[in-house]
Structure 1
Amino acid sequence: MNCPKCHSSKFVKNGHTHYGKQRFRCQHCGRQFVNNPSRQPISQDKRDLIDKLLKERLALAAIARVAEVSERWLQDYVNQKYYLTPKEAKITEKKRGRLILEIDEMWSFVGSKRNKVWIWLAIDSLTHKLSVFKKRDRDRAAARKLWDSLPPVYRQCATCYTDFWEAYQGILPTKRHQAVGKETGQTNHIERFNNTLRQRVGRLVRKSLSFSKKFQNHLGAIWDFIHYYKASLQH
């Protein structure tokens, strides 16, 4: 018997597991292990499969069944993954010229529908690349933070198309802001991306049992898909 991590043969007994099996501790690297474990470590291939399934509209219980892992292990894995997911996106600086932004906000919730959370989005309609992604309340202060987070070239040059939500009034430049309806087609790209989010992220489905109980996981799941979406556009 050797240590499964460093393969050292120097180890000592170190108590028992919850199931009564003898546990050992490696004197070289400190790894704790048992002889002939009934549960094998989750392979990297299975972790890669889980990462792909997390970007589909599936509940964690469904992913656990498909990947054949325990729900407890999967929840711990997801918690750590979403905690480490970057909560911002790098915005490529653009030269002055014809710039068009489509801005919208999308409703979601955490824990219960009484705890509303709004997702604020701005997308460059010419390149179809997501420019800004923010998560705030649905008020004028949130619209101001979204606008201030844009690169200066967008704030100075871009024509902005939004819906008729009053929070945009007084925040976006009057001469370059146009409030339009969906029938005009001027907000098609942002509306389509909103639909993509709801189709691919189960936590955003309006009537869903896959909703988040923790704000950190709710935010992490959305950002995880955002990074995947931006990478797919580059390819």
Structure 2
Amino acid sequence: MSVALPACPSCQSEDVVKNGRTRHGKQNYKCRDCGRQFVENPQWRIISEETKGIIDRLLLEKLPLAGIARALQISELWLQQYVNQKYKLLEREVQVRPKPKSRLRVQMDELWSFVDHQGNKQWVWLALDAQTREIVGVHIGNRSAASAQALWQSMPPVYRQCAVIYSDFWSAYELVLPSKRHHAVGKETGKTSYIERFNCTLRQRISRLVRKTLSFSKKLDNHIGAIWLFIHHYNASLPANSSCPL
């Protein structure tokens, strides 16, 4: 008794023959009419633009890549490649609304994180506009004065020219920031409360920043890319003409 062979997925022809096996051991078939080679129940599929849009939104939530792959039933390898390319193309410069040259208030702080292992510390340096709540400066690196300088240089010129800056007592700030406009303050003053709250938001929304995470970054570029992706989304989501974040 002969077993019916599957029809060709391209032309629906039933003139199909067996054509060896794939490298994964599956039976390969060939259509005699259109020449298409195929297997039954293929594991791969074309990822639609709609699915990619869902992936982009899920990357902004506290989900590991393995969890996204399981939920959407897609290849974890394909997802990692997609994310690598997305992070590579991200602009690494803050996008903020134009500001007049007037008195601005900025809060600065640094957030501990790591890549690959906890000995490879990567500090997330952030500057936040206390009025609009926009993130106006970002740098990921060590905790040295050079990183404080990189944070300062990442801010738009109007902030470097006009802003009064509040930070904690970390010595690197004093070495870099203009002394007449820099104020080192304690948490009890409330003058760094917005940036401290944003640090909590980052840890709640980016799984690789959770202190005891299993979703830690294995590549520095992806670590930086994940942070920049969220910051661009956060700034774009803030309501215009409002001092309150979403």
TM-score range, shorter chain: 0.7 to 0.9
Distance 1:129 1:91 in 2: 7
Matched ranges for 1:36-51 at <5 A: 38-39=42-43, 40-51=45-56
The corresponding residue for 2:87 is 82
Percentage of pairs with the same residue: 51
Deviation at 1:35, TM superposition (A): 7.2
Please tell me whether residue 104 in structure 1 is matched to residue 105 in structure 2. no
Deviation at 1:55, TM superposition (A): 1.1
Distance (Å, rounded) in 2 between the aligned partners of 1:155 and 1:88:
15
The runs of 5 or more residues in structure 1 that have no matched partner are 5-14, 25-31
Higher mean C-alpha deviation, range 37-46 or range 173-182 = 37-46
Equivalent pair of 2:128/2:195 in contact (CA under 8 Å)? yes
SS in structure 1 of the partner of residue 194 of structure 2 = helix
Q: State the Cα distance separating 1:160 from its structure 2 match.
A: 0.5
Structure 2 alignment gaps of length 5 or more: 1-7, 12-19, 241-246
User: Quick one: which amino acid aligns to residue 235 of structure 2?
Assistant: K
Q: Based on CA coordinates, which of the two structures has the bigger radius of gyration?
A: 2
SS of residue in 2 equivalent to 1:95: coil
**Is the partner of 2:113 in helix, strand or coil?**
strand
Q: Which residue of 1 aligns with 2:205?
A: 200
Closer, same or farther in 2 for the Cα pair 1:113/1:35, shift >3 Å? closer
What is the RMSD computed on CA atoms of the aligned residues?
2.6
Q: Is residue 142 from structure 1 mapped to residue 147 from structure 2 by the alignment?
A: yes
Question: C-alpha offsets along residues 160-209 of structure 1, whole Å, 9 cap, x if unaligned?
Answer: 00001010113112221111111111111111111111100001111000
Q: Classify 1:22/1:16 alpha carbon distance in 2 versus 1 (closer, same or farther; 3 Å).
A: farther
Three-state SS of the structure 1 residue aligned to 2:175 is: coil
Note the C-alpha offset of 1:149: 3.0
Give, in whole Å, the separation in 1 of the partners of 2:55 and 2:92: 21
Task: Give the number of aligned pairs.
Answer: 220
Give the deviation of 1:37 after TM superposition.
Answer: 6.3
Matched, 1:21 2:28: yes
Shift of 1:44: 2.1
Q: How does 1:90-169 map to 2 (within 5 A)?
A: 90-169=95-174
Change over 3 Å in CA distance of 1:148–1:82 after alignment to 2: closer
Corresponding residue SS for 1:87: coil
Aligned to 1:121, the other structure's residue is in SS state strand
